[in-house]
Amino acid sequence: MSNAKLWGGRFSESTSEAVEAFSESVSFDARLWKHDIAGSKAHARMLGRVGVLPAADVEAICAGLDAIAGDIEAGRFEWRTALEDVHMNIEQALTDRIGEAGKRLHTGRSRNDQIATDIRLYLRDAIDDLVADLNRLSEALRALAEREADTIMPGFTHLQVAQPVTFGHHMLAWREQILRDRDRLLDARRRTNVCPLGAAALAGTVYPIDRAYVAEQLGFDSVTANSLDTVSDRDFAIEFVSACSLLMVHLSRWSEELILWNTPMFGFVQLPDRFCTGSSIMPQKKNPDVPELVRGKSARTTGDLMSLLMLMKAQPLAYNRDNQEDKEPLFDAHDTTAACVALYAELIPALSVNRSACREAAIQGFSTATDLADYLVRKGMAFRDAHHVVGNVVAHAVQQGTDLASLPLDTLKGFSATIESDVFEVLSVEGSVAARDHVGGTAPARVRAAAKDASRES
């Protein structure tokens, strides 16, 4: 098998081994082989369709590429760094296998539009797989929300107890985040699903190509409009990694909450043993490693995004070899995000919620203080005055070491004569959440309705 460079005719000496090692990309872009072969077959069929290649060559090329695909799948294919990248490895293997016809495959294209095609095909599959896993995760959150629609827990602002909410409402909040993530990925897919083949190196090609036919063969929605932009554009990759980064930020926020809730100080949830590990020295430990690692891995995807943005910063048109550096952060962001989403899709359904601990925490911190202020407003008091009165009530409760619902009626009336015995209906955490019975509210009835609506939408 030849190691000669397919572009080597102009050169009088071989590339040094140090440069070969420095500049090769096959060690990471070999994963694009399926997409490279699919693009090459579509290109060959198009060349045959327009009369640039004879039918016999097209048949030999497609059969040879299928055989190479079989070798790669079986682990028999030898990837050679001397051949630089996935494209040259496959093309050289094709030529070794079928002879002269293999040398004609590259007619009318460049590695510049070839790699742009491969990455777009790869990302299209990556988005489809990620969306499928996000749908699984979304359903897991929906089911958990329905299951815990009546479970009262504290809602927080500034990580201080604010108002009572339901656990189901909190899960639906998480779900809203990933629904936006899913929509961003689907929107990015639309811009990704445009066919670059035909742009060639940067200016197009002199051959009578049929770009629409290639796009149809590969399942693209359309073809790119400008050859210069086509080979230099990596917006679609940046957009994908940006969507992954924001998705991972959302998962990092969930992770932080699960880590806190899993501690004895909170005790809201128990993580399944299979998602935790122990300590090498402290036998009592059960560490929430999966949420901690997800929280940490969010930094990787953000770093990947920064790498891609800085890679493209100030690049002149058109293609530059800098762009070889796009694939490692792209692949890392995909791999990291996909692994984290898949794990959470398994973890969420297995989450055990300690309902009594959640309710006990909601009682603390005077979480129904706003309900008392609203009660006074309904009795005719201006809200700012009500806010001041309730602040005084809370200060008294702090001094007495009790919660609002445990204060005697006479004590409460001492702060405002408008307070009557019905006040205790709004001071209970159950009354507080039930009162927020509107679209988007935390009332158990609204949570169940939202979960049922989500079930119908899936």
Query: What is the CATH classification number for the domain harbouring 376?
Result: 1.10.40.30
Same domain? For 92 and 135 the reply is no
On whether the CB atoms of residues 164 and 433 are closer than 8 A, the answer is yes
Cis-peptide, bond into residue 318, ω within 30° of zero: yes
Same domain? For 231 and 117 the reply is yes
CA distance 329 to 304: 5
Domain that holds residue 80: 16-107
Q: Cα-flanking dihedrals φ and ψ of residue 12, to 5°?
A: -100, -10
The domain spanning residue 251 has which CATH number?
A: 1.20.200.10
CA angle, residues 73, 74, 80, in degrees to nearest 5: 80
At 51, is the pLDDT very low, low, confident or very high (cuts 50, 70, 90)? very high
Same domain? For 288 and 186 the reply is yes
pLDDT at 187 over 70: yes
The domain spanning residue 47 has which CATH number?
A: 1.10.275.10
As annotated, the active-site residues are 158, 279
- Chain CA centroid to CA 85, Å: 28
Among residues 359, 379, 407, the one where a domain terminates is 359
Domain assignment of residue 11, yes or no: no
Same domain? For 338 and 373 the reply is no
Same domain? For 297 and 317 the reply is yes
Under DSSP, is residue 164 helix (H, G, I), strand (E, B) or coil? Answer: strand
Same domain? For 374 and 420 the reply is yes
Same domain? For 28 and 84 the reply is yes
Radius of gyration of the chain from Cα atoms?
Answer: 30
Predicted confidence at residue 195, as pLDDT, reads 98
Same domain? For 284 and 404 the reply is no
Among residues 107, 132, 167, the one where a domain terminates is 107
CA distance 376 to 330: 56
User: 377-428: per-residue pLDDT in tens?
Assistant: 999 999 999 999 999 999 999 999 999 999 999 999 999 999 999 999 999 9
Predicted confidence at residue 14, as pLDDT, reads 77
Total structural domains in the chain? 3
Domain assignment of residue 165, yes or no: yes
Same domain? For 327 and 400 the reply is no
Same domain? For 142 and 288 the reply is yes
Among residues 308, 339, 359, the one where a domain terminates is 359
Closest CA to 385 of 360, 361, 416, 357: 416
User: 57-89: per-residue pLDDT in tens?
Assistant: 999 999 999 999 999 999 999 999 999 999 999
Residue indicated by tokens 């790869």: 122
